[in-house]
Structure 1
Amino acid sequence: MQVHIVHAHPEPKSFNAELTNRARVVFTDNGHGVNVSDLYAKSFDPIERGHHYLQRIDDGVFSPLAEQRHAYATHTVPHDVLEELLELERSDLLVLQFPLWWHAPPAILKGWFDRVFLNGGIYTSRKRYDAGHFRGRRALVSVTSGAPEAAFGPGARGGDPEVMLWPVQYSLHYLGFSVLRPQWTFGVQGHGYSYDDESLARHRLENGLKAWEDRLLAIHSEPCLRFPGWQDWDGQGRLSGEMKN
């Protein structure tokens, strides 16, 4: 199995970095290929803009979708985007590792979505959802939060984890990925946990890493989340049948 990990945290000593490093070791030690794309370390530009495209279809007005289609068709995709696409194309599993900031991923990861998943190439009007470009591949979101687990849930003060991750996971489904349940690590502050004394904090941190490792060892046998596909919608795109219930 080939794994592509997209890491989105600016601090190399962070707990997110520990999770990424642990994933790299687990997969490598078990004979899998691993590539890590550290977005901050490589100074990935998350802002989609005209100067990324050297052969513009229209120099007067920047239309992101049109320029993406043109770049894909003419093999002039920006180098940093092409680098990411080549890794995705050869990967069986995509892992997104990031902290929850303002109830969402860091801006650099949202920008990665904006720039890497090119209109007209990676998706079209019919090449999406269960007919998407990355069908047959799986995706896993691993996210940390500073608040403790008890603060999360429907109506809780920390918010509903399922709602906050819906845009990321649904976008992955939109692109054809089979999406695994997310891996949440709660109560992380900086390098450790802030809600306990130091010894208990370290114990919980190690337990979180061990749980992550154990899950990765059995990831190949996990079922995926159920999202609607073309067969679940009527002609207007509304849910029909058992998914509606």
Structure 2
Amino acid sequence: MNVLYVYAHPEPRSLNGALKDFALRHLRAAGHEVQVSDLYAMNWKATVDAADSKEPPERGRFDPSHASQRAFQNGWQSDDIVREQEKLRWADVVIFQFPLWWFSMPAIMKGWIERVYAYGFAYGVGEHSDRHWGDRYGEGTLAGKRAMLVVTTGGWESHYSPRGINGSLDELLFPIQHGILYYPGFDVLPPYVVYRAGKMNEERYATVRDGLAARLDTLATTAPIPFRRQNGGDYAIPALTLHDDLARGEHGLRIHTR
């Protein structure tokens, strides 16, 4: 398979750096073609601004969405954005690895999403009618591809349990897995999570490494998270609310999985 590895950590000698290096060796040894977007090493520009387009400066205010749409449609996108979009088109699987900082991904990776997911590429696509509300949440440009998170966190697993102080990790990752990955069409695999990242010895690292290897070996066969398709009949259109007869009496993020 073609695997794109999108990675965000500023220190190559960190636990994240070791896991990333191991994952790349393991994937290549298994015969996969691999491309890497090491965002800190690339000095990736994380901010969205008018420099993302080669369009002559427009008069008036800068509208990020409309500028992104025009740039994508007319071939005016900056070269770094185009290169990353080409990697996404090439990939069968995309792995995003990052430390969980302040309950989310590092800003540099969020900036990669905001710039690479251009209007017309990852959003704003498909028919909008009373039967179909855009190609998204299970449809879209990236449909048919798989994605997985590799996440490290300093907290204990119990801290991220359903009754843990930090909240359920499944819910904390929902904006990323559902809103960033499933939205443009990815089949999203369950994440590989490493807890207590700052308390790592050689024995525990070997266990973590072997667990990651097992997940990498099953990228093609692991069942994805069963998110509901937006246009699959579970939601009223255009309200985009779950039909009353589904998950009756339930609320919260979990109603969006089957």
Name the aligned partner's letter for residue 235 of structure 2.
W
Cα offsets for 1:189-210 (capped at 9, x unmatched): 2xxx26xxxxxx2211111011
The verdict on how the C-alpha distance between 1:241 and 1:224 changes in structure 2, with shifts beyond 3 A counting, is farther
Cα offsets for 1:4-49 (capped at 9, x unmatched): 0000100001111122112111111111100110000001011001
Name the aligned partner's letter for residue 51 of structure 1.
A
Q: Which residue of structure 2 aligns with residue 127 of structure 1?
A: 135
Quote the offset at 1:158 in angstroms: 3.1
Q: For 2:36 and 2:13, how far apart are their aligned partners in 1?
A: 16
Q: Which residue of structure 2 aligns with residue 233 of structure 1?
A: 235
Name the aligned partner's letter for residue 79 of structure 1.
D
- Of 196, 200, 210, 1:187 maps to 196
Corresponding residue SS for 2:209: helix
Instruction: Report % sequence identity.
Output: 31
Corresponding residue SS for 2:173: helix
Q: Which residue of structure 1 aligns with residue 114 of structure 2?
A: 114
Quote the offset at 1:243 in angstroms: 4.8
Instruction: Please tell me whether the aligned partners of residues 57 and 70 of structure 1 are also in contact (alpha carbons under 8 angstroms).
Output: no
2:145 matched to 1:137?
Answer: yes
Instruction: Please tell me whether the aligned partners of residues 51 and 78 of structure 2 are also in contact (alpha carbons under 8 angstroms).
Output: no
2:172 matched to 1:164?
Answer: yes
Corresponding residue SS for 1:207: helix
Instruction: Please tell me whether the aligned partners of residues 6 and 39 of structure 2 are also in contact (alpha carbons under 8 angstroms).
Output: yes
Instruction: Please tell me whether the aligned partners of residues 57 and 67 of structure 1 are also in contact (alpha carbons under 8 angstroms).
Output: no
Instruction: Please tell me whether the aligned partners of residues 136 and 184 of structure 2 are also in contact (alpha carbons under 8 angstroms).
Output: yes
Corresponding residue SS for 1:36: strand
Q: Which residue of structure 2 aligns with residue 72 of structure 1?
A: 72
Q: Which residue of structure 1 aligns with residue 129 of structure 2?
A: none
Quote the offset at 1:69 in angstroms: 0.5
The verdict on how the C-alpha distance between 1:242 and 1:132 changes in structure 2, with shifts beyond 3 A counting, is farther
Corresponding residue SS for 2:96: strand
Instruction: Please tell me whether the aligned partners of residues 131 and 176 of structure 1 are also in contact (alpha carbons under 8 angstroms).
Output: yes
Q: For 2:225 and 2:246, how far apart are their aligned partners in 1?
A: 13
Cα RMSD for the two superposed structures? 1.5
Count, aligned residues = 236
Cα offsets for 1:172-218 (capped at 9, x unmatched): 100100000011000002xxx26xxxxxx221111101110122112
Quote the offset at 1:71 in angstroms: 0.5
The verdict on how the C-alpha distance between 1:208 and 1:68 changes in structure 2, with shifts beyond 3 A counting, is same
The verdict on how the C-alpha distance between 1:79 and 1:21 changes in structure 2, with shifts beyond 3 A counting, is same
Q: Which residue of structure 2 aligns with residue 14 of structure 1?
A: 14
Corresponding residue SS for 2:142: coil
The verdict on how the C-alpha distance between 1:177 and 1:238 changes in structure 2, with shifts beyond 3 A counting, is same
The verdict on how the C-alpha distance between 1:72 and 1:244 changes in structure 2, with shifts beyond 3 A counting, is same
Quote the offset at 1:157 in angstroms: 1.9
- Of 151, 159, 177, 1:151 maps to 159
* Structure-to-structure mapping, 1:34-53, within 5 angstroms: 34-53=34-53
Q: Normalising by the residue count of structure 2, what TM-score does the alignment of the two structures yield? A: 0.87
Corresponding residue SS for 1:5: strand
Q: For 2:100 and 2:174, how far apart are their aligned partners in 1?
A: 13
Q: For 2:118 and 2:59, how far apart are their aligned partners in 1?
A: 19
Instruction: Please tell me whether the aligned partners of residues 81 and 115 of structure 1 are also in contact (alpha carbons under 8 angstroms).
Output: yes
Q: For 2:244 and 2:140, how far apart are their aligned partners in 1?
A: 22
Corresponding residue SS for 1:94: strand
Q: Normalising by the residue count of structure 1, what TM-score does the alignment of the two structures yield? A: 0.91
Instruction: Please tell me whether the aligned partners of residues 52 and 78 of structure 1 are also in contact (alpha carbons under 8 angstroms).
Output: yes
Cα offsets for 1:59-102 (capped at 9, x unmatched): 42111100110011111111111111111100000000000001
Q: Which residue of structure 2 aligns with residue 198 of structure 1?
A: none
Cα offsets for 1:118-174 (capped at 9, x unmatched): 012322251222221111000001100011212221231233201111111012100
Which segment drifts farther, 150-159 or 140-149? Answer: 150-159
